[in-house]
């Protein structure tokens, strides 16, 4: 057993695309906690350690920038300054500021809005399936997994559905802006897109302040809690960008991955119209192949974790994709088993104060997509010879295509 804090994690770039989990297992067994110089990160791989980092806000801070590149190309910083300043909000915020924000947003993200949305989620899903069911073939990522959560989150917030594709393009800009390996040209283009996105959201905020509507954005603007200051325009912009990204990109990846895992197991797909089974499939997908592979933290001071000293100020990456397959937490962790007991102990929605506020909506959308497809296209199967492609990304994982056929 290796006890120092080193591991050749740079192999991640080659190993990740098809199946990162053998590399994660090797890292978990050999090092547990280690510095990855290729990414300038301290990586935490074991279940108990990841859970401790997520829940210990005194040692590990969530305050980091999401929209600003780690190493901006020439001109990018100046372009970003043309937009609204990036401020930490919710996901990347520490107490006590996080307490204020969460209390305000939780009121606006009440279960009532998810319940009200359920018929619309069903309606959008059926309409999307109507668009390809007569073709006998479909890319279920491009034609269902991506547009469904995008349209739902736009409707929830109150953004015009006519703007959905532009919002998606801007979201792609944000993802590219902070991706490892983005070229200077790509960063510059993405920075311009980010500024346009911020200005769009500022305009939506101003419209609601002039005339409120029955939507989440109005609720966020008008939310008050025990004398706490309302959210500023800059805070609301940062919050909206986070909500759209989390409510769109990560849910799309979860839908695509869940469908892929089911279609790779035809015997499971034949029973996928059972709501109780689908609920367990969603949790086991989140455990076995999470759409968000980890989350960042920053060490507040020199701190010990499993005998390894992480220096003050270091960026820490809690690797959900490894922790969810830790045999200390799950039996036969590399097996996909929808009948698994306590699969919902996974860490894929986070833990502690930053547990994903949109988890109920994400679960609803995945459950709806699977059951609707299973009922309407029971003979759905993967296209012959199909092999799922993945985009190279440290944080997000999901098939970028899912070619299927039926009849």
Of residues 32, 47, 35, 44, the one with CA closest to residue 9: 35
What domains can be seen in the chain, in order of their start residue?
Answer: 9-405 (1.10.630.10)
* 268 dihedral zone (left: phi>0; alpha: psi -120 to 50; beta): alpha
Q: pLDDT tier at 3 (50, 70, 90 boundaries)?
A: very low
Give mean pLDDT, residues 237-251: 90
Of residues 56, 55, 33, the one with CA closest to residue 44: 33
pLDDT tens readout for residues 59-88: 999 987 776 777 788 999 999 999 998 888
Instruction: Give the residues across from 303 on adjacent strands.
Output: 310
pLDDT tens readout for residues 8-22: 676 655 556 788 999
What is the Cα–Cα distance from 32 to 43, expressed in whole angstroms? 8
The SS3 of residue 344 is: helix
Task: Judge whether residue 329 has pLDDT over 60.
Answer: yes
Distances 80 to 3, 69, 171 between C-alpha atoms, Å: 42, 10, 15
Tokens representing 258 are 């869940």
Give the pLDDT of residue 89.
Answer: 85
Task: Judge whether residue 373 has pLDDT over 90.
Answer: yes
Distances 384 to 136, 137, 255, 402, 403 between C-alpha atoms, Å: 13, 11, 21, 12, 9
Q: pLDDT tier at 180 (50, 70, 90 boundaries)?
A: low
pLDDT tens readout for residues 254-311: 999 999 999 999 999 999 989 889 999 999 999 999 999 999 999 999 999 999 999 9
The pTM score is: 0.92
Q: What are phi and psi of 237, to 5 degrees?
A: -60, -50
Helices 359-376 and 147-157: angle between axes, nearest 10 degrees? 140
pLDDT tens readout for residues 111-158: 777 788 899 999 999 999 999 999 999 999 999 999 999 999 999 899
Q: pLDDT tier at 407 (50, 70, 90 boundaries)?
A: confident
Q: pLDDT tier at 2 (50, 70, 90 boundaries)?
A: very low
- C-alpha 235: how far from its chain's center? 20
């Amino acid at each position: 057993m290796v006890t120092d804090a080193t591991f050749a994690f740079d192999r991640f770039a080659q190993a990740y695309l098809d199946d990162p989990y053998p590399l994660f297992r090797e890292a978990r067994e050999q090092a547990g906690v280690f510095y990855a110089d290729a990414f300038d990160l301290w990586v935490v791989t074991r279940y108990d350690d990841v859970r401790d980092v997520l829940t210990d806000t005194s040692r590990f801070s969530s305050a980091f920038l999401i929209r600003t590149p780690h190493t901006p190309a020439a001109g990018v910083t100046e372009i970003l300054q043309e937009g609204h300043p990036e401020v930490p909000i919710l996901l990347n915020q520490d107490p006590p500021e996080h307490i204020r924000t969460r209390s305000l947003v939780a009121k606006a993200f009440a279960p009532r809005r998810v319940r009200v949305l359920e018929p619309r989620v069903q309606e959008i899903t059926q309409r999307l399936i109507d668009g390809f069911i007569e073709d006998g073939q479909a890319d279920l990522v491009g034609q269902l997994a991506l547009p469904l959560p995008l349209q739902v989150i736009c409707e929830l917030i109150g953004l015009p559905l006519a703007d959905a594709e532009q919002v998606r393009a801007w979201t792609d800009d944000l993802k590219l802006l902070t991706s490892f390996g983005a070229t200077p040209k790509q960063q510059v283009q993405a920075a311009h897109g980010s500024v346009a996105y911020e200005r769009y959201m500022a305009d939506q905020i101003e419209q609601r302040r002039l005339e409120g509507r029955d939507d989440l954005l109005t609720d966020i603007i008008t939310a008050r809690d025990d004398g706490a200051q309302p959210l500023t325009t800059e805070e609301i912009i940062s919050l909206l960008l986070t909500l759209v990204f989390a409510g769109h990109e990560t849910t799309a990846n979860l839908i695509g991955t869940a469908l892929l895992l089911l279609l790779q197991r035809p015997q499971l797909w034949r029973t996928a119209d059972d709501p109780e089974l689908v609920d367990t499939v969603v949790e086991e997908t989140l455990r076995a192949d999470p759409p968000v592979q980890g989350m960042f933290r920053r060490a507040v001071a020199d701190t010990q974790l499993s005998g390894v000293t992480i220096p003050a100020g270091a960026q820490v990456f809690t690797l959900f994709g490894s922790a969810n397959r830790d045999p200390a937490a799950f039996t036969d962790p590399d097996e996909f088993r929808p009948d698994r007991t306590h699969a919902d102990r996974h860490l894929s929605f986070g833990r502690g104060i930053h547990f994903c506020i949109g988890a109920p909506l994400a679960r609803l959308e995945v459950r709806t997509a699977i059951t609707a497809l299973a009922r309407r296209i029971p003979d759905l199967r993967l296209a012959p010879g199909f092999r799922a492609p993945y985009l190279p990304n440290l944080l997000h994982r999901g098939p970028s295509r899912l070619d299927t056929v039926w009849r």
